């Protein structure tokens, strides 16, 4: 029996793609640098997967800040935050985001000792979380470390002005740049981290005129927090933004919601229902016949 030729009227079916979902492309350090002097960069902190999912559509950068020590763990400062804590929360934020660039803070004592130690710990953060960059506090004194990291493939967001990890040597949480010497030093710090290769710099707790001036002087985006509207972007702690952290409220925070009373009331209503046996009702239980 002769082999039959395949029918031209019935071509073999085409393979169906496994998924038609379009994957969102994350913003990169190059995208952020390109925003210098143009569209302001929106940054908020995130520490958990659910919060990252809520913030991701609205932010350019999600910062896994060491502020989590105070906001989530009740610490008096950020100094007790460990590298493992930052990595675990960095992973959580990466799972909950798809558009925003994720930056993870390097905690106290994880980078100051030497540039080699800084590289090892930064590399661990990036490989174990998948984040795009790390953030470290310090100006001219950290410039060599920033250059060492960036020249070896680790993008760095710098942080100058008020530096929470140095709060003990700085004399507490206070505005910086009030004196001419202090203002000049902050501007030197800004130029140093920019020249060292940082792709952006957080300017915290700095007199408005100083933040405005250094933003005009350097060629990388400045991200203000308690600084100036002239900065190339702004960052706030999300829990401050929505009223979930009430230990204190910095002057530079604007509250866009006050969720604490709503959460407290929801817990009170739940407790009342449990005590009165109003919850759970039949609709919340398994095997209970539906009432006609």
CA distance 144 to 138: 11
CA distance 183 to 174: 14
Asked if residue 103 lies in contact with residue 133, where contact means CB atoms within 8 angstroms, the answer is yes
Say which residues have a Cβ less than 8 Å from residue 129's Cβ, sequence separation at least 6.
Answer: 64, 87, 90, 91, 94, 102, 104
DSSP characters over 6-37: PPTTSPPPPPPPS--PPPPPPP-HHHHHTTTT
Q: Is the pTM value of this prediction over 0.75?
A: yes
Say which residues have a Cβ less than 8 Å from residue 24's Cβ, sequence separation at least 6.
Answer: 98, 99
67 is in an annotated binding site: yes
pLDDT per position as a tens digit, 236-246: 999 999 999 98
Q: According to the model, what pLDDT value does residue 167 have?
A: 78
105 is in an annotated binding site: yes
Q: According to the model, what pLDDT value does residue 22 have?
A: 56
Residues in the chain: 292
135 is in an annotated binding site: yes
CA distance 72 to 223: 23
Residue-wise pLDDT tens for the chain (292 aa)? 444 444 444 444 555 454 445 567 999 999 999 999 999 999 999 999 999 999 999 999 999 999 999 999 999 999 999 999 999 999 999 999 999 999 999 999 999 999 999 999 999 999 999 999 999 999 999 999 999 999 999 999 999 999 999 877 766 668 888 999 999 999 999 999 999 999 999 999 999 999 999 999 999 999 999 999 999 999 999 999 999 998 877 788 999 999 999 999 999 999 999 999 999 999 999 999 887 7
Q: According to the model, what pLDDT value does residue 246 have?
A: 82
Q: Look up residue 135 and give its two tokens.
A: 């953030």
Q: According to the model, what pLDDT value does residue 169 have?
A: 76
Q: According to the model, what pLDDT value does residue 1 have?
A: 45
Q: Which helix (H) or strand (E) covers residue 156, if one does?
A: strand 156-161
Residues annotated as part of the active site: 204
66 is in an annotated binding site: yes
Q: According to the model, what pLDDT value does residue 28 have?
A: 98
């Amino acid at each position: 029996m002769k082999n039959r030729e395949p029918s031209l009227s019935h071509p073999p079916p085409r393979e169906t793609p496994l998924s038609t979902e379009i994957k969102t492309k994350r913003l990169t350090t190059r995208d952020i640098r390109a925003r210098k002097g143009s569209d302001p960069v929106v940054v908020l902190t995130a520490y958990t997967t659910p919060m990252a999912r809520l913030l991701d559509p609205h932010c350019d950068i999600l910062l896994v800040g060491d502020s989590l020590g105070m906001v989530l763990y009740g610490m008096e400062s950020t100094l007790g935050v460990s590298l493992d804590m930052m990595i675990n929360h960095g992973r959580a934020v990466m799972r909950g985001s798809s558009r925003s660039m994720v930056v993870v803070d390097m905690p106290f004592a994880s980078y100051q000792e030497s540039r080699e130690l800084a590289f090892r710990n930064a590399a661990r953060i990036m490989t174990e979380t998948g984040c795009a960059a790390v953030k470290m506090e310090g100006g001219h004194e950290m410039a060599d470390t920033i250059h060492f990291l960036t020249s070896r493939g680790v993008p760095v967001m710098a942080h100058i002005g008020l530096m929470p990890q140095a709060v003990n040597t700085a004399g507490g949480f206070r505005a910086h740049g009030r004196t001419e010497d202090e203002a000049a030093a902050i501007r030197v710090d800004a130029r140093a981290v920019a020249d060292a290769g940082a792709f952006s710099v957080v300017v915290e707790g700095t007199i408005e005129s100083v933040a405005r001036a250094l933003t005009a002087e350097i060629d990388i985006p400045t991200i203000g927090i308690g600084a100036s509207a002239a900065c190339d972007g702004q960052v706030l702690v999300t829990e401050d933004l929505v009223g979930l952290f009430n230990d204190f409220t910095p002057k530079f925070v604007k509250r866009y919601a006050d969720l604490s009373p709503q959460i407290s009331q929801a817990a009170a209503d739940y407790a009342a229902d449990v005590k009165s046996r109003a919850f759970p009702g039949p609709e919340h239980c398994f095997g209970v016949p539906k009432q006609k």
